[in-house]
C-alpha cells in the first residue's frame, strides 16, 4: 500500500510539473541598456553625440588598410588622397582608388573605389536624427540641450552637403526612419529632392544651428562644432549652388526628364543673385571670425612664411581652423605613412604609394617675388639638374611648404638632402610629377605617430570664397582684392591689383588652387566650375619632370599619363544596389 501512495504521489508530481513548467523559461540576464537609459544619463547622451560626430565627420586621409566599414568611407580615395584623382597630384602605386578615377574606370557597380559611400552618410544622418529626437529627454539644461542639438543638426547638414557635392539633389532624411521590417521599405525609399531643395535644407539647417552654437569650447573639447562652422558650411553650400555646374540654363550633359533636370541643378537659368548670397554668407564667416569668435583669424605665427603656412597643417593648435577631425575610431593600424609619405624618407617598407605633385599644377605657383617662372622646357629634352633645383627653388613659400622636391631637406636645418635619383633601389625615384607631397605629411615621423587632423573648414577658404562670389556678382573691386591679398600677404606674397572680371576670375581660381592645394577642394572646384573636361585638368596629359642620375644629372619634361574623363562624371552615379531597388532616379549618362 505504501508503494501505491508513493506511486500516486509521484504521478501527481510529474503531471504537475508537466503542465506548469512550460510557462517559465529562463529570462535572459541582461546588463545591456535601452534607448531610455542612453538619453536618461548625461554621460551616455554625450557619448551618443560622439557617435554622431564619429559617423558624420569628414576625415579624408587614407589611414587603414582594412576593408571594414571604418576603412572605406571618408578615408580619401582608397590608399591615397583625392588630390591624386585630379590635376594636382598622382599616386605612383597602381592599387589606389585614384587610379580608377584617372582611368575613368569607375561607375555605379563598384563603390567608387571607396572614395565615397552614401550609406555611410546616411548612417551618420540616422545617428544625428536619433540624437535630435531624443536629446530633449536628457538631464542637461535647456541651453545645453539646444547647443548639443544644434551640433547634431549641423553634422546632419554636413553629411547632406557631402552627398550633394557628389550627387546633386539627394534624398533628405530629417527624421529617424523606422526600419524594423521589410514592410517599412516603402517608407524608407525616399525619393531624391531637387537640387534647390537640397541646398535650402542645408542652408536652413546651418541657420538653425548657428542660433544655438557657441563660439568656442574649452581646450578639452577643441574640435567641437562652433557657430563659425555652421556659417562656413552655409557659405560653402551657397558658393557651390551659385557655381556654373548648377547655376546655369544648360546642364553638363543633356537631360530630357524634367524631374531629373531639377535634381542636377537649378531650373530657372543663371541667376547672379546666387553669387551675391554666397558672397554675403562668406563675409559672415569673416565677420564672425574677426568680430565675434574672439579667437579665429588667419594664422600669422612663425617668422618664416614657409614655416608659417606649413604650421597650419601640422599643428592643429592654431587659430585658423574652424573645424577639423581626427581619425575616426581608435584603430592604430597606421598605414598613413605608407600611403602618403615619400618611400624611404619616413616609410621604409615595401610598395609605398608615393604621391607626386604634377607639373601641370606646379605651374600654378608663382615665384616668391610674385612674377611668373619661365617654363620653356621642350618635352623629352634633358636639361641640367641644377636648373630643376633652381627653378623649383624660386617658387613661392607655399610651394616650398607643400612639395618635397629633389635636392631639398625633408627636415629643414638637418643638412640631409635627398637627391631622388640616387635612391633608385630604395623607392625614392618612383613618383610621377616634380616631387613628393609634403603638405600635411611633414609632421608625421614614423608609423607610430598619428595621422594629422583633417581640416574641414579653415578661414582662408572663406576669403577666397568671398573674392570669387563677389567677383562673379560684380561686387566691389577693392573688397575683391582685399580678400585675395589677405591670403597672399599672409605668406609674404605681393598683392594683386584689380583688372577685370574675367582676368580676376582666372587669378582667383589660381590663388584658390595654390592656397587650398591638396585639401580636397580642387577635385570639386573643377567640377563646379565645369572645367574638368578641359585638356590637362581632368582629361588628357599629366606631366612631370623626370630626373636621371649619373655624373651629370639631368631632368626631362615628360608626360606620365593620359587621363580619361567623360562629362557624365561631373556628378557621381548612384550605386547600382540603390538604383536596382527602383526608388532612385540615376544621374544622367550613367
Alpha helices in 57-141 (DSSP H): 69-72, 97-102, 118-134
Q: Which stretch binds another protein (CB under 8 A): 15-23, 202-210, 226-234, 457-465?
A: 15-23
Q: Which is nearer to another protein, 192 or 490 (CB)?
A: 192
Q: Which is nearer to another protein, 334 or 465 (CB)?
A: 334
Question: Can you tell me which of 40, 104, 216, 223 binds another protein, judged by CB under 8 A?
Answer: 223
With CA atoms as reference, report the closest residue to 434 among 374, 476, 483, 393. 393
Question: Whole-angstrom Cα distance, residue 79 to residue 338?
Answer: 9
Question: Whole-angstrom Cα distance, residue 56 to residue 414?
Answer: 41
Binding mask 326-365 for another protein (x = CB under 8 A): xxxxxx----------------------------------
CA dihedral for 249, 252, 257, 259, sign (positive or negative): negative
With CA atoms as reference, report the closest residue to 76 among 109, 16, 116. 116
With CA atoms as reference, report the closest residue to 476 among 467, 463, 489, 484. 467
Q: Is 219 in the site for another protein (CB under 8 A)?
A: yes
Q: Which stretch binds another protein (CB under 8 A): 214-222, 393-401, 427-435, 550-558?
A: 214-222
Question: Can you tell me which of 83, 148, 152, 173 binds another protein, judged by CB under 8 A?
Answer: 173
Task: Tell me if 323 sits within 8 A of 229, measured CB to CB.
Answer: yes
Q: Which stretch binds another protein (CB under 8 A): 75-83, 362-370, 561-569, 575-583?
A: 575-583
Whole-number minimum distance, CB 8 to another protein, in Å?
Answer: 8
Q: Which is nearer to another protein, 28 or 415 (CB)?
A: 28
Q: Is 196 in the site for another protein (CB under 8 A)?
A: no
| Joined grid coordinates for residue 237 | 553650400
Q: Which stretch binds another protein (CB under 8 A): 3-11, 401-409, 418-426, 510-518?
A: 3-11
Q: Which is nearer to another protein, 30 or 500 (CB)?
A: 30
Question: Can you tell me which of 74, 126, 283, 490 binds another protein, judged by CB under 8 A?
Answer: 126
Q: Is 424 in the site for another protein (CB under 8 A)?
A: no
Q: Please, which residues bridge with residue 195 across strands?
A: none
How far from chain centre, in Å, is Cα 397? 24
Question: Whole-angstrom Cα distance, residue 110 to residue 122?
Answer: 18
Interface with another protein in residues 369-398 (CB under 8 A): none
Interface with another protein in residues 131-170 (CB under 8 A): none
Question: Which uninterrupted H or E stretch holds 454?
Answer: strand 454-458
Q: Which is nearer to another protein, 321 or 547 (CB)?
A: 321
Question: Can you tell me which of 136, 177, 300, 503 binds another protein, judged by CB under 8 A?
Answer: 177
Strand residue runs (E) in 262-372: 321-325, 355-357
Question: Whole-angstrom Cα distance, residue 403 to residue 340?
Answer: 12
How crowded is the C-beta side of 58, counted as CA atoms within 13 Å? 26
How far from chain centre, in Å, is Cα 410? 26
Interface with another protein in residues 243-302 (CB under 8 A): none
Q: Which is nearer to another protein, 178 or 211 (CB)?
A: 178
User: The cell 580678400 sits on which residue?
Assistant: 483
With CA atoms as reference, report the closest residue to 137 among 44, 26, 203, 55. 44
With CA atoms as reference, report the closest residue to 522 among 510, 536, 534, 506. 510
Question: Can you tell me which of 2, 5, 141, 221 binds another protein, judged by CB under 8 A?
Answer: 221
Binding mask 520-559 for another protein (x = CB under 8 A): ----------------------------------------
Task: Tell me if 536 sits within 8 A of 509, measured CB to CB.
Answer: no
Q: Which is nearer to another protein, 223 or 533 (CB)?
A: 223
Question: Can you tell me which of 259, 381, 548, 581 binds another protein, judged by CB under 8 A?
Answer: 581
Question: Can you tell me which of 67, 333, 501, 577 binds another protein, judged by CB under 8 A?
Answer: 577
User: The cell 579665429 sits on which residue?
Assistant: 296
Question: Can you tell me which of 127, 362, 405, 456 binds another protein, judged by CB under 8 A?
Answer: 127
Q: Is 7 in the site for another protein (CB under 8 A)?
A: yes
Binding mask 88-117 for another protein (x = CB under 8 A): -----------------x---x-------x
Task: Tell me if 52 sits within 8 A of 128, measured CB to CB.
Answer: yes
Question: Can you tell me which of 67, 69, 371, 390 binds another protein, judged by CB under 8 A?
Answer: 69
Q: Is 222 in the site for another protein (CB under 8 A)?
A: yes
Whole-number minimum distance, CB 95 to another protein, in Å?
Answer: 10
Question: Whole-angstrom Cα distance, residue 96 to residue 356?
Answer: 13
Q: Which stretch binds another protein (CB under 8 A): 28-36, 227-235, 402-410, 525-533?
A: 28-36
Q: Which is nearer to another protein, 55 or 587 (CB)?
A: 55
Question: Whole-angstrom Cα distance, residue 52 to residue 155?
Answer: 7
Q: Which stretch binds another protein (CB under 8 A): 173-181, 237-245, 290-298, 434-442?
A: 173-181
Q: Is 67 in the site for another protein (CB under 8 A)?
A: no
**# residues contacting another protein (CB under 8 A):** 86
Question: Can you tell me which of 26, 142, 369, 376 binds another protein, judged by CB under 8 A?
Answer: 26
Interface with another protein in residues 36-65 (CB under 8 A): 37-38, 44, 47-48, 50-51, 53-55, 57
Measured CA to CA in angstroms, residue 281 lies from 165, 326, 467, 537, 564 at distances of 18, 27, 12, 29, 36
Q: Which is nearer to another protein, 328 or 434 (CB)?
A: 328
Q: Is 5 in the site for another protein (CB under 8 A)?
A: no
Question: Whole-angstrom Cα distance, residue 200 to residue 512?
Answer: 26
Question: Can you tell me which of 141, 142, 220, 500 binds another protein, judged by CB under 8 A?
Answer: 220
Question: Whole-angstrom Cα distance, residue 141 to residue 49?
Answer: 16
- Neighbour tally for 373: CB within 10 Å: 16
Q: Which is nearer to another protein, 171 or 395 (CB)?
A: 171
Whole-number minimum distance, CB 464 to another protein, in Å?
Answer: 25
Q: Which stretch binds another protein (CB under 8 A): 119-127, 427-435, 438-446, 468-476?
A: 119-127
State residue 561 phi and psi, 5-degree precision. Answer: -165, 155
CA angle 515, 519, 522 (to 5 degrees): 75
Question: Whole-angstrom Cα distance, residue 194 to residue 266?
Answer: 8
Amino acid at each position: 500500500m505504501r508503494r501505491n501512495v508513493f506511486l500516486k504521489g509521484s504521478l501527481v508530481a510529474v503531471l504537475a510539473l508537466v503542465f506548469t513548467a512550460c510557462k517559465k523559461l529562463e529570462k535572459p540576464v541582461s546588463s545591456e541598456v535601452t534607448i531610455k537609459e542612453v538619453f536618461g544619463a548625461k554621460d551616455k547622451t554625450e557619448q551618443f553625440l560622439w557617435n554622431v560626430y564619429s559617423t558624420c565627420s569628414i576625415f579624408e586621409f587614407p589611414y587603414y588598410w582594412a576593408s571594414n566599414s571604418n576603412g572605406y568611407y571618408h578615408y580619401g580615395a582608397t590608399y591615397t588622397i583625392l588630390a591624386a584623382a585630379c590635376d594636382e597630384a598622382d599616386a605612383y602605386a597602381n592599387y589606389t582608388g585614384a587610379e580608377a578615377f584617372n582611368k575613368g574606370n569607375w561607375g555605379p557597380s563598384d563603390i567608387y573605389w571607396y572614395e565615397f559611400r552614401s550609406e555611410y552618410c546616411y548612417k551618420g544622418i540616422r545617428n544625428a536624427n536619433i540624437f535630435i529626437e531624443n536629446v530633449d529627454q536628457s538631464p542637461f539644461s535647456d541651453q545645453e540641450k539646444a547647443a548639443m542639438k544644434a551640433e547634431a543638426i549641423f553634422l546632419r547638414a554636413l553629411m547632406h552637403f557631402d552627398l550633394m557635392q557628389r550627387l546633386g539633389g539627394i534624398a533628405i532624411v530629417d527624421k529617424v526612419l523606422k526600419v524594423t521590417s521589410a514592410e517599412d521599405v516603402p517608407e524608407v525609399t525616399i525619393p531624391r529632392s531637387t537640387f534647390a531643395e537640397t541646398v535650402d535644407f542645408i542652408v536652413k539647417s546651418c541657420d538653425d544651428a548657428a542660433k544655438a552654437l557657441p563660439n568656442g569650447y574649452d581646450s578639452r573639447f577643441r574640435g567641437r562644432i562652433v557657430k563659425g562652422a555652421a556659417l562656413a558650411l552655409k557659405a560653402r553650400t551657397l558658393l557651390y549652388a551659385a557655381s556654373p555646374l548648377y547655376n546655369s540654363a544648360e546642364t553638363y550633359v543633356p537631360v530630357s526628364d524634367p524631374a531629373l533636370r531639377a535634381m542636377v541643378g537649378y531650373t530657372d537659368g543663371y541667376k547672379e543673385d546666387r553669387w551675391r548670397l554666397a558672397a554675403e554668407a562668406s563675409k559672415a564667416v569673416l565677420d564672425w571670425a574677426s568680430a565675434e569668435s574672439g579667437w579665429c583669424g588667419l594664422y600669422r605665427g612663425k617668422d618664416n612664411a614657409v614655416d608659417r603656412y606649413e604650421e597650419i597643417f601640422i599643428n592643429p593648435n592654431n587659430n585658423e581652423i574652424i573645424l577639423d577631425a581626427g581619425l575616426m575610431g581608435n584603430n592604430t593600424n597606421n598605414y598613413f605613412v605608407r600611403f602618403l609619405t615619400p618611400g624611404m624618407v619616413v616609410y621604409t617598407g615595401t610598395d609605398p604609394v608615393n604621391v607626386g605633385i604634377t607639373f601641370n599644377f606646379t605651374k600654378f605657383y608663382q615665384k616668391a617675388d610674385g612674377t611668373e617662372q619661365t617654363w620653356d622646357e621642350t618635352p623629352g629634352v634633358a636639361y641640367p639638374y641644377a636648373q630643376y633645383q633652381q627653378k623649383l627653388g624660386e617658387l613661392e613659400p607655399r610651394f616650398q611648404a607643400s612639395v618635397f622636391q629633389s635636392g631639398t631637406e625633408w627636415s629643414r636645418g638637418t643638412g640631409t638632402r635627398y637627391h631622388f635619383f640616387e635612391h633608385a633601389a630604395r623607392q625614392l625615384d618612383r613618383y610621377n610629377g616634380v616631387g613628393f607631397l609634403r603638405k600635411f605629411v611633414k609632421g608625421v615621423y614614423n608609423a607610430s605617430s598619428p595621422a594629422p587632423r583633417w581640416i574641414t573648414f579653415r578661414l582662408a577658404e572663406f576669403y577666397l570664397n568671398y573674392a570669387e562670389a563677389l567677383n562673379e556678382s560684380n561686387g566691389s573691386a577693392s573688397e575683391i582684392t582685399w580678400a585675395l591679398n589677405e591670403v597672399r600677404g599672409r605668406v609674404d606674397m605681393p598683392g594683386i591689383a584689380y583688372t577685370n572680371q574675367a582676368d580676376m576670375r582666372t587669378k582667383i581660381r589660381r590663388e584658390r588652387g595654390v592656397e587650398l592645394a591638396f585639401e580636397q577642394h580642387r577635385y570639386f572646384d573643377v567640377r563646379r566650375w565645369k572645367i574638368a573636361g578641359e585638356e590637362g585638368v581632368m582629361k588628357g596629359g599629366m606631366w612631370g619632370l623626370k630626373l636621371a642620375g649619373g655624373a651629370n644629372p639631368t631632368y626631362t619634361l615628360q608626360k606620365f599619363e593620359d587621363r580619361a574623363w567623360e562629362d557624365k562624371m561631373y556628378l557621381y552615379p548612384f550605386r547600382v544596389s540603390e538604383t536596382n531597388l527602383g526608388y532612385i532616379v540615376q544621374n544622367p549618362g550613367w
